[in-house]
Amino acid sequence: MKEPGFLTLLKPTRTNWSMLLFIAVNLLVFIAMLISGVSVFEPDNESLINWGANFRPSTTAAEWWRLFTSCFLHIGIFHFLLNTYALWYIGYLLEPLIGGIRFAGTYILTGIMASIASIWWNELVISAGASGAIFGLYGVFITLLVGGVVDKGIRKDLLTSMLLFVGYNLVFGIKDGIDNAAHIGGLIAGLLLGLAFLPALKNPEAITLKYVSLAIALLTVIITGVWAMGSIRNDLPTYQAEMEHFQDLESMALDVYKMPVSADKKIVLEEIQDRGIYYWKECIKLVKGMEPLSLPKEIKEQNKKLVKFCEMQIESYQQLYRKIEEDSDLYNKELEKSDQKIEAIMKAMTKSS
Residues annotated catalytic, as ranges: 131, 183
> Hey, CA dihedral for 160, 162, 165, 168, is it positive or negative?
negative
* Contact partners, residue 50, CB within 8 Å, separation at least 6: none
Q: Helices 207-230 and 180-202: crossing angle, nearest 10°?
A: 160
d(CA 237, CA 243): 10
Residue 127: strand pairing partners:
54
Q: Which is it for the CA torsion 141, 143, 145, 147, positive or negative?
A: negative
Residue 78 forms beta bridges with which residues? none
Cβ atoms < 10 Å from Cβ of 277: 21
Taking the C-alpha atoms of residue 245 and residue 265, their distance in angstroms, rounded to an integer, is 30
**Distance in angstroms (rounded) separating the CA atoms of residues 42 and 132:** 20
Q: Which amino acid is at 98?
A: I
Asked if 156 and 103 count as a contact pair (C-beta separation under 8 A), the reply is no
3-state secondary structure of 292: coil
Q: Residue 144: CB partners within 8 Å, gap ≥ 6?
A: 94, 97, 98, 150, 194, 197, 198, 201
Separation CA 169–CA 176 (nearest Å): 13
Task: List beta partners, residue 54.
Answer: 127
